[in-house]
Every structure is written in C-alpha cells, then in structure tokens.
Structure 1
C-alpha cells in the first residue's frame, strides 16, 4: 500500500466533512418529518452517511502508519 498524497488526504477530509454535514441535515430533517415512510428513508440515509464517514476515517487510520513522521 502506498502513502496517500496530500491531494488525496484533502479529498478524504472534504468527503468526511460532507458526510458529517449530511448526517446532521438528515437528523434535523427527521425532527421535522411526520410521515413514517419518509422518516424511515431519512434514518437509512443517516445510517449510510455515518457508514461512509467511518469508512473514510478507517482509510485514514490504515494509512497513518505510512505517513512521513514529523521530527
């Protein structure tokens, strides 16, 4: 496995920020929706975005050992 480039790290950080925002928006939407089918949809979307965030975090953690060490 090769170390991630600076640009790749920026893309991952941006993606994590986007996923986090989507989770927060989904949670807010859940508080305003009263239709059970729509609530279920938002619950699924929130869960999916949380999983994406975790996958991105896991990727960063896997590559942490390859990152150059600060001296």
Structure 2
C-alpha cells in the first residue's frame, strides 16, 4: 500500500470516490425516472444509496485511522 501516504489518506480517497459514484448513480436514477424507466431508476437509486453508505463508512474509518501510518 505504498501508493498512499497513510491509511487516513486511503480512506478519504475512497470516500471521495464513493461520493462521486453516488452522485453519478443518483443523477442517472433521476434521468431514468424522467424518461419513465422505473426499473433502471430503481437500480441506479439502490447503487447510489450503497455508494453513500460506503462513503460514510470510509469517512469513519479515516477518522479512526487518523495519524496512523502503515
């Protein structure tokens, strides 16, 4: 894991990525909903919720590992 300076940075980067993915899936869900495609909208919304949940978990892990090195 030499790519990351420490564990806190790794978890923060994961949380940022989860946020981006969550925002993407949320937008896709709303777009599909506007088209009337309820199944696709539901699928994207579930993925968005999972990403947002993962974001919160990774933010908590970043706080937990704050200041810790490898």
Bigger radius of gyration, 1 or 2?
1
Alignment deviations for residues 36-57 of structure 1 (CA, whole Å, 9 cap, x no partner): 1111111110110011001111
Name whichever of 21-30 and 55-64 sits farther off: 55-64
RMSD: 2.0
Count of paired positions: 62
TM-score, scaled to structure 1: 0.71
1:60 corresponds in structure 2 to 62
TM-score, scaled to structure 2: 0.72
What 5-or-longer segments of structure 1 have no aligned partner? Answer: none
What 5-or-longer segments of structure 2 have no aligned partner? Answer: none
Cα distance in 2 for partners of 1:45, 1:58 equals 20
1:51 corresponds in structure 2 to 53
Q: Which structure has the higher relative contact order (CA within 8 Å, separation 6+)?
A: 2
